[in-house]
Amino acid sequence: MQVPSNSSAQANTPAASDDATVAPWLAVLSVGIGAFALVTSEFLPVGLLPAMAAELAISKGQAGLMITTPGIVAAFAAIFVTVGSGRLDRRIVLLALTALLVASNLLVALAPSYAWILLGRAMLGVGVGGFWAIGSAIGPRLVSPQHASRAMSIIFAGVSLGTVAGVPAGALVGELVGWRVAFGGASAIAVLVFIGQLFLLPKLPPTQAIRLRQLPMIFGIRKARLGLIATAMLFTGQFAAYTYIAPFLTQISHLSAATVSAMLLVYGASGFIGNIAGGWVAGRHERAALLVTGAILGISTLALAALGSHAFTAMLLVAIWGFGFGAMPIAVQTWMFKAAPHLMEGSSALFVAIVQVSLASGALLGGLAVDHLGVASAMVVGGLFALGCALTIGIFGKPQATAAAGATACEA
């Protein structure tokens, strides 16, 4: 998750005065490819879930724990890796997290049982939580202040690319040669990322230590509290539904495995467009961006539950859903950053923790619904949470004067 860094931190960075050369940008690229590998690895089971459930002889709801487990672990890792690594060189921390990514995917690929797979996914959770709380702030430190936004855009392009290409490519590989090969391939990519970061990243001594006592201060800010509630509702709803998109399209829409892989690609491509559009809107009016995002996600998933048996309609709704998903991260991040600009790093760690808990909770709720009510119920659960977010922002997100400032309004 994006954490803007301060100018003093950038000024103390070796690359800050030398970004006219190619070396700093290669370092930024290595972090961006690391983000791609992380996103691909975290959501790889989404496209492979039916095949994995069949081979492991578990229900699709139980298979959803492969998404839930790293989410729960990442929630704690976002806070404790950030606090615990306060004095360590950020280059060393990032290399350790990338090495963990290699090991976790390799363990899943070679796992003799489902329990070993969950252990591998738990290891991934540490890498995910630590990366988003620490690694995302590295980009601006590698270049000079005027190029910080460009560095961040390169890193977050890796996130979009992971959704657009990584997950559907993993699903296609799994369909052609097996899901274990897909996880093995993800591990191989992570090895290349580790080598690149080892040679390209400069030393990055810490510039600011985050303390646990900073985190409760975030809850004292009304707009930040509302943003965290909206974040929890959106991510819970999103992953209650998205975790089971492949079984839904297979069982309800009667699409072939190859077509499902293609639809995941469409979903990601639409999300890339949604990310651009969401960023444009959020930069001008974050309340509108968050409200509309919740409405799009809610309406598209509820409509999918009702109309998904028609293949063409299902494919259209998946594309619309992907657009809303692409806008979701930038909408909630912009809201949070404007809510607590003076507590940016503490806000980031707490935000990442809430996202990961919600991700895990959503996958778990969706799994329970699927096992007891059928796969279409996951779309209903997801849609209701997303519409709940839109309703919450619509009612409580209006500008209000603060008690201390009288006429000063909290931007919504």
Q: What angle do CA 19, 90, 7 make, to 5 degrees?
A: 50
Percent of the chain with pLDDT over 70: 84
The Cα 79–Cα 308 span in angstroms is 39
* pLDDT 10s digits, 320-378: 999 998 888 778 877 877 777 666 656 667 777 888 788 888 888 988 898 889 899 99
* Between 318 and 401, residue with greater pLDDT: 318
Q: Is the model's pLDDT at 74 over the cut of 50?
A: yes
Q: Is the model's pLDDT at 16 over the cut of 60?
A: no
Burial (CB count within 10 angstroms: exposed 0-12, middle 13-18, buried 19+), residue 93: buried
* Between 277 and 343, residue with greater pLDDT: 277
CA torsion sign for 63, 50, 383, 305 is: negative
The stretch 240-266 carries a mean pLDDT of 88
Percent of the chain with pLDDT over 90: 29
Q: Is the model's pLDDT at 273 over the cut of 50?
A: yes
pLDDT value for 15: 47
The stretch 57-82 carries a mean pLDDT of 82
The Cα 164–Cα 145 span in angstroms is 29
At CB < 8 A and 24+ separation, what contacts does 216-224 make? Answer: 217/343, 217/346, 218/340, 218/343, 218/346, 218/347, 218/350, 221/339, 221/340, 221/343, 222/400, 222/402, 222/410, 223/335, 223/338, 223/339, 223/340, 223/410, 223/411, 223/412, 224/336, 224/339, 224/340, 224/347
